[in-house]
Amino acid sequence: MEEIKSVSELTSYIMELIEDDPYLTNVWVYGEVSNYKVRNSHIFFSLKDDKAKLDCVIFGGKSRGIKLIEGNVVAARGDVKVYPPHGTYRMICEEVRYIGREGLYSIRYKRVLEKMMKEGWLSRPKKKLPEYPQKIGVITSRDSAAFQDILRTIKERYPFVEIYLFHTQVQGEEAKKNLVEAIEKSKEYDLDLVILARGGGSQEDLWVFNEEEVVEALVKLKHPVITGVGHEVDRVLVDFIADASAHTPTAAAEMAVPNIREVYERFKSTFEEVRGKLSEKFENFERKLENVEAILSAQCEILLLKLKEYENKLKTIRARMQITMFRKVKEFSQKMDNVGRILENLNPKKPLNKGFAMIFKNGRLITSSSLLKKGDRVCIVMRDGDREAVIE
């Protein structure tokens, strides 16, 4: 069977763990005083914040001159100990200092700021604000003057924008939860940028914008963020992580959109500048065309003269060729006549017209009687026909 420990043994083990932990020895803790009681010169009370409570005691020798008031914020120094009879732990305080609400906010502010630095939230690159946004999300209270200021400013400066309101409480117990939910809700929309805003107030009124959960939610927002919380003298932690921060909600709206009049003047100036440059370019182009036209005109005159010269040369060459061709044709005709006469004289049938005849033996012209003998068959060719004969 497994070893079974007694309550005392387990409690002693827990005591050793807690009382030997240097993190729990001579430690300062701050919180709001509650359950304040004095018994036999010992002071019993609790320190609490919005998430936890710590029981504390100041024993008689240390309690002289100390008077705590319910709701005050104090910082206590001491050791965390286990109280075995009740199975609880508590802080044995050696010193208590009143720090008040302002001091409490300062401590919490410093703690969140240290986390922001540790996580690298302060050094991350800023997102560029769109020059001409079309969809803007506004995270604030629908009933606030800040929201009305933003609407009015955007309408006057750049009335082409769609405004998406993500309603939230901006102070009070539910403000932190509401604000984180509103920031998360804005992630679902395709926005060009987000304005986180609230009007002025006390440090306590604006404190929700220093809460760690709010700061972290804003860090994770993909849209560019402009903050406009409080008045010019106010500075909250969300301002440090925003892509741009303004002193007031109105200033945030002015930063979010351009002034349509300035845009018009800028475009007008740009148009005039472009028109002037184009006009200058057209003038230069016209001058170049005139120069080209003059050059082409001169070149055309030269070309026409050249063509006229070539035309005259061609006419001369053609006349010469015609004369030469006529002479050659005449010479050729004369030669053909001579050849004709020669061929006519060489015609073997010409003597037949004068009464002569030609004798062929076996297709061979007989030019001598010695080539014939008695009984040879010959062909006698005359002017008007042929006759067969036999030599006797």
Kindly report which listed range (10-14, 190-194, 356-360) carries the lowest average pLDDT score: 356-360
Q: What percent of the chain has pLDDT over 90?
A: 35
- Which percentage of the chain shows pLDDT scores above 70? 95
Q: What is the pLDDT of residue 371?
A: 80
Query: What pLDDT sits at residue 129?
Result: 95
d(CA 327, CA 259): 97
The per-residue pLDDT for 101 is: 67
Query: CB of 365 within 8 A of CB of 388?
Result: no
Give the model's pLDDT for residue 63: 67
The pLDDT score that the predictor gives to residue 223 is 94
What pLDDT does residue 27 have? 92
pLDDT of 277 > 90? The answer is no
Of the chain, the end-to-end C-alpha distance in Å amounts to 173
- Closest Cα partner for 153 from 136, 166, 167? 136
Mean pLDDT confidence for 362-374: 79
- Computed over every residue of the chain, the mean pLDDT equals 86
**DSSP letter, residue 152:** H
For residue 168, the tally of other CB atoms under 10 A from its CB is: 24
Token digits for 300?
């055309």
Confidence class for position 257, pLDDT limits 50, 70, 90:
very high
Give phi and psi for 57, each to the nearest 5: -145, 140
- Quick check: 180 and 191 in contact, CB under 8 A? no
Q: How far apart are CA 171 and CA 176, in angstroms?
A: 8
pLDDT at residue 1 above 60? no
- Per-residue pLDDT, averaged over 302-312, amounts to 83
Per-residue pLDDT of 209-231, as tens digits, reads: 988 999 999 999 999 999 999 87
Mean pLDDT of 6-31: 89
pLDDT for res 102: 67
**pLDDT for residue 188:** 94
pLDDT per residue over 345-354, tens digit each?
666 666 777 7
Concatenated DSSP letters for 222-262?
Answer: -S-EEEEES-TT---THHHHSSEEESSHHHHHHHHS--HHH
Mean pLDDT for the stretch of residues 281-291: 81
- Residue 221's pLDDT is what? 93
Interatomic CA distance for residues 229 and 247, integer angstroms:
7
Q: How confident is the model at residue 110 (pLDDT cuts 50, 70, 90)?
A: confident
